[in-house]
Amino acid sequence: MVRRVLDDRLTVVGAALGGAAIGAAGLEILRRADEAEARVCRKDPLEGCLTLYPLIGIAGWIAVALAGLLILLWVLRVRPLAGAVAACMALSLCTMMLWAEVGELARSWLFYVMSAAGPALVSALRSPRMRRPAAVVLVALLVPLLVWMGWRSLA
């Protein structure tokens, strides 16, 4: 019993560290795409410049987040619930995209905490001892984020 609880806690910690690494990789992909667009558009600053680099950066970020989460959960041997994965991926992706827009691609401890929250909550929701607190944390993070996104889209 004690060994299983310790294993669950280590799995959640490993998922959180992996989520932070995935968030950092996605942020770096988006940052490089923005640098590439700035480099291309610098040639003729008076004309409008429209490139596909931002879209490629966003697509790369989403691909890294999805593939990274699947590989991370496979390595940690977590068999997630479908609803938990959808909610936690929504939390992670919305956080990453909004942070990139609002935070101007700034790296801070809050960005890494929010990037780590999705995979850690997926792992915690599979543990019988951590399921209820993880569900409360997930709702506490996801509801304000979705309300804020709706408010931003209306303004």
pLDDT at position 37 is 84
pLDDT (tens, 9 = 90+) of the chain, 155 residues, equals 445 555 778 888 888 898 889 888 888 888 888 888 888 877 766 667 777 888 888 888 888 888 888 888 888 887 776 777 777 677 666 666 666 565 555 667 777 777 788 788 888 887 788 888 888 887 887 777 777 767 767 76
pLDDT in tens, 104-132: 556 677 777 777 887 888 888 877 888 88
CA separation for the pair 105, 103 (Å, rounded): 5
pLDDT at position 76 is 81
| Tokens, residue 110 | 């809050």
- Contact call for residues 30 and 60 (beta carbons, < 8 A): yes
Contacts of 105 (CB under 8 A, 6+ apart): 27, 30, 31, 34
Burial class (CB in 10 A: 0-12, 13-18, 19+), 73: buried
Helix H segments across the chain? 2-41, 53-75, 82-102, 109-125, 131-154
pLDDT at position 116 is 82
Instruction: Return the domain boundaries, the chain.
Output: 2-154
pLDDT at position 67 is 87
Cα separation values, 83 from 69, 124, 126, Å: 15, 13, 12
pLDDT at position 100 is 59
Give, in degrees to the nearest 5, the angle at Cα 42 between 41 and 47: 60
pLDDT at position 69 is 82
Provide the whole-model pTM: 0.75
| Tokens, residue 36 | 């590439």
HSE, CB side, 13 Å, CA atoms: give it for residue 32: 11
Contacts of 97 (CB under 8 A, 6+ apart): 58, 61
pLDDT at position 101 is 61
